Chains A and B, each alone.
Chain A
Amino acid sequence: MARITVTVDGVTYSDDVEPRLLLVHYLRERLGKTGTPIGCDTSNCGACTVQMDGASVKSCSVLAVQADGADITTIQGLAQDGEWHPLQRAFHEQHALQCGYCTPGMIMAAVDLLRTNPHPTEQEIREGLEGNLCRCTGYENIVRAVKSAAETGVTS
């Protein structure tokens, strides 16, 4: 067992974890943050994307012990004071989801994209989201949603 201290969505937790515990399992099973889903076993799908110290990571490919001292934001930490994050609102308004499974990862990857490139072109949006798969083939509306959120001036 190893002792870790992690800040997740603004709350600091200290826990003993087995070294093999993946960050995504820590988030879901220890902290109950089930808004972050597990998609694949090969770090392809991006469903489990979260922000770690301000940059997107696939939480299935990070050990919880490696997140010791880190500041994690999940999809559940985006809304502020009961108000959806502009990307959440844009995904809703542009109908950028069907089954919704990829949505948390898509939004967290899009947060990262707009952090580094606040006004991406359509091509840059597609490239920025290349690590995230949607199997309902909803990419058109996802791209539209990110573009629409960018137009409202999202920077965080």
Chain B
Amino acid sequence: MIPSAFDYTRPTSVDEAIRALTDAGEDGKVIAGGQSLLPLMRLRLAAPAMLVDVGALGDLRGIRDEGDWLWIGALTTHDEVVHDPLIREHCGLLSQAAGTVADPAVRHRGTLGGSLAHADPAADLPAVAVALDATLLARGPGGERSIGAGEFFQDYLTTALGPGEILTGVRVPKLGEGWGYHYEKFHRTAQAWAIVGVAAVARRSNGQIGEARIGLANMGTVPVRASAAEAAAAGAAADRDALREAAQRADEGTSPPSDLHGAADYRRHLARVLTGRALAVASGV
């Protein structure tokens, strides 16, 4: 279907973009790669009156090593996240998960910032952002601010971004020595959304798990941390049985949806099984 009519602007500075978005009010929407927004508009599930295309904003581009973390511009495409040597070296979980997003053509257009700002709980990268304790950077009429991934995702397709605010980039802590990672995604067909996705990082020392962080995709209205399983994994022996045991608590505190692809209790089961697998790979066992 053809989208509803809208006005379009492609500003060349962030300030100009913020002004355009502020002026558009409730009916304004940011577009980057458009790989989530345009399908919604074609199905007429979304009908913004004004699209502010951030594609020409150089401030939102690039990948920088800033010491303990990488700064990744919001316009970095999934394909770039998959292949960039800095991201692969320091934030490999992000590269691995980005490689499972949709298909190559979508990955050429879709952006990291777009995926996070769209905040679909079934998406892969929001779960990775919470597992990695990423910090999201926004600029708006009130200036610049940083928002922890845990606070950024507020509800289904709803983020902490205020009126006129634009996500400019993400700070992703580097995984240090001794850390491993794995993204485990369960879907029925190629290029489909995750029925459940599990993003895990784990630090192993002396045959034990020192610390684990686990982000879950599609286990609620926002990406959530599997805190109970993280606590159970900390101090556990780095072997399959112990990690499987810790993973039994992966669905605690979650409210997974029931839909065409799976009932809530099936998703709970998947979360436990996939967390066990993700932890095992992340811990190198």
Residues of A within 8 A of B (CB): 2, 18-20, 22, 25, 41-44, 46, 49, 52, 55-58, 60-63, 65-66, 109, 112-113, 127-128, 130-132
Of B51, B103, B109, B190, the residue contacting A19 (CB under 8 A) is B51
Query: CB-defined interface of B1-24 with A at 8 Å, one 1/0 digit per residue?
Result: 111111110100000000000000
**Residue B34, interface by CB 8 Å:** yes
CB-based contact B34/A131 at 8 Å: no
Also in contact, A55 and B2, with CB within 8 A (given A46-B103, A61-B38, A131-B105): no
Min Cβ gap A63→B in Å is 7
Which residues of B sit under 8 angstroms from A58, Cβ to Cβ? Answer: 105-106, 109
Size of the B side of the interface (Cβ < 8 Å), in residues, is: 30
Chain A residues within 8 Å of B8, by CB: 2, 19, 63, 65
Residue B207 lies at the interface, judged by CB distance under 8 Å to chain A: no
B101 nearest CB across to chain A (Å): 11
Q: When the two chains form their complex, are residues B39 and A62 in contact, meaning their CB atoms are under 8 A apart?
A: no
Q: Choose among A41, A61, A65, A130 the residue that contacts B1 (Cβ–Cβ < 8 A).
A: A41
A66 and B106 contact, Cβ closer than 8 Å, known pairs A60-B42, A61-B38: no
B4 touches A56 (CB 8 A): no
Q: Which 9 A-B pairs rank lowest in CB-CB distance, beginning with the nearest?
A: A131-B103, A19-B8, A130-B190, A55-B108, A56-B105, A20-B3, A130-B103, A61-B38, A58-B105
Are A25 and B105 in contact (CB-based, < 8 A)?
Answer: no
B residues 105-132 in Cβ contact with A at 8 Å: 105-106, 108-109
CA distance A58 to B284 in the complex (A): 38
How many Å lie between the Cα of A44 and that of B8 in the bound state? 25
Query: A131 vs B190: C-alpha distance in the bound complex, in angstroms?
Result: 8
B282 CB to closest chain A CB, in angstroms? 23
For B34, give its contact among A46, A66, A109 (CB under 8 Å): A66
